[in-house]
Amino acid sequence: MFNTRRPRRNRKSAAIRAMVKENSVSVNDFIFPLFLIEGTNEKQEIESMPGIYRFSLDLLLEEIKECVELGIKGFCVFPSLGDDKKDKYATEGYNKDGLYIQALRKIKSQFPDIALMTDIAMDPYSSDGHDGIVENGEILNDETLEILGKMALVQAEAGADILGPSDMMDGRVGYIRKVLDEAGYTHVSIMSYTAKYASAFYGPFRDALDSAPKFGDKKTYQMSPANSKEALIEADLDIEEGADMIMVKPALAYLDIIKSLKDNYDVPVTAYNVSGEYAMLKAAAEKGWLDGEKVMMETLLSMKRAGADIILTYFAKEAAKLLKKQ
């Protein structure tokens, strides 16, 4: 055998493998999604997401402190509200004195150095469980923008650093940017959920928030899993409208979309390693069918290799602990 080129030479020792390593996962890449509930001293594990909890604000602050000590810098908070706080127009979503906005204010005042990200969409506050206003079974686009704008304003005022519109209404990035700029919040960033697919991988998240649609599905606003070119249209629009960062969601079944956005645009690309992806690995690890830590790191690395600059992941804390040990 006379092979001049032998790729195995570059794999022959740990030292050489480390030298030629093209991609890596760092704690700096992570944004940790957190679930907030009312009350004090409350910590409820989400059944389909072992190791992930809904916290009352006092315990959420402790959780953030632990994560900051592990080096995590980005956090994204989602509110989980009782049905009594939900209505047709998601009014709780822009209630300055409501649980979510008060919590953002408190988090930012205790941890001024973190990157605090929010969620903008109607579903946690909507009695219909949809991301937009529902009228006769239709999701209204332009009317929804007004509500999203109000949510953006109170979140910015509470001190959020990055706003994350996750609703997929047309024109929302431009609308929110305009509302923010006119109110003087020119420094507040927008990370748009650019290519958000109508995916079955959001199941555990909807359990966590009790936010599943009351009727129908989200296919008239979230993208079809069959499409990739459409992601470029969404990205063109979001960037034109002022998005600072773009996102692909879910991540694992959509690595090709992450790569495509990374190759075609210069803004940072985020991968949202969603609840179902977390649940899937945890379940297999619990059964002893997979090595949980190894598949976690391999999965996160695959997102970096595909081109993600940032990863929103429920694994953030666990991975940060592991990275610290290495």
Give the residue numbers annotated as catalytic, written as ranges. 196, 249
Question: What phi and psi, each to the nearest 5 degrees, are found at residue 119?
Answer: -115, 130
Q: Which residues contact 175 (CB under 8 A, 6 or more apart)?
A: 145, 148, 149
Amino acid identity of 181? Answer: D
Q: Which is nearer to ligand PBG, 56 or 222 (CB)?
A: 222
315 is an interface residue for ligand PBG by CB under 6 A: no
Q: Which is nearer to ligand PBG, 146 or 182 (CB)?
A: 146
75 is an interface residue for ligand PBG by CB under 6 A: no
**d(C-alpha 230, C-alpha 254), whole Å:** 13
274 is an interface residue for ligand PBG by CB under 6 A: yes
Least Cβ distance, residue 170 to ligand PBG (angstroms): 16
104 is an interface residue for ligand PBG by CB under 6 A: no
Stretch that binds ligand PBG, among 99-107, 135-143, 201-209, 287-295 (CB under 6 A): 201-209
205 is an interface residue for ligand PBG by CB under 6 A: yes
What is the gyration radius of the CA atoms in the chain, in angstroms?
20
Least Cβ distance, residue 206 to ligand PBG (angstroms): 6
* Residue carrying structure tokens 């009351």: 214
3-state secondary structure the chain: CCCCCCHHHHHCCHHHHHHCCCCCCCHHHEEEEEEEECCCCCEEECCCCCCCEEEEHHHHHHHHHHHHHCCCCEEEEEECCCHHHCECCCHHHHCCCCHHHHHHHHHHHHCCCCEEEEEECCHHHECCCCCCEEECCEEECHHHHHHHHHHHHHHHHCCCCEEEECCCCCCHHHHHHHHHHHCCCCCCEEEEEEEEECCHHHHHHHHHHCCCCCCCCCCCCCECCCCCHHHHHHHHHHHHCCCCEEEEECCHHHHHHHHHHHHHCCCCEEEEECHHHHHHHHHHHHCCCCCHHHHHHHHHHHHHHHCCCEEEECCHHHHHHHHHHC
131 is an interface residue for ligand PBG by CB under 6 A: yes
206 is an interface residue for ligand PBG by CB under 6 A: yes
Stretch that binds ligand PBG, among 65-73, 104-112, 119-127, 170-178 (CB under 6 A): 119-127
Stretch that binds ligand PBG, among 115-123, 132-140, 260-268, 299-307 (CB under 6 A): 115-123
Please count the residues of this chain forming the interface with ligand PBG, following the rule CB under 6 A: 12
Least Cβ distance, residue 130 to ligand PBG (angstroms): 9
Q: Which is nearer to ligand PBG, 148 or 267 (CB)?
A: 148
Segment 211 to 270, residues that bind ligand PBG, using CB under 6 A: 218
Q: Which of residues 80, 118, 166, 270 is near ligand PBG by CB under 6 A?
A: 166
Q: Which of residues 29, 92, 123, 161 is near ligand PBG by CB under 6 A?
A: 123
Q: Which of residues 29, 119, 234, 238 is near ligand PBG by CB under 6 A?
A: 119
Q: Which is nearer to ligand PBG, 98 or 276 (CB)?
A: 276
**d(C-alpha 278, C-alpha 52), whole Å:** 10
Q: Which is nearer to ligand PBG, 183 or 284 (CB)?
A: 284
202 is an interface residue for ligand PBG by CB under 6 A: yes
Q: Which is nearer to ligand PBG, 55 or 202 (CB)?
A: 202
Interface with ligand PBG by CB under 6 A: which residues? 119, 121, 123, 131, 166-167, 202, 205-206, 218, 274-275
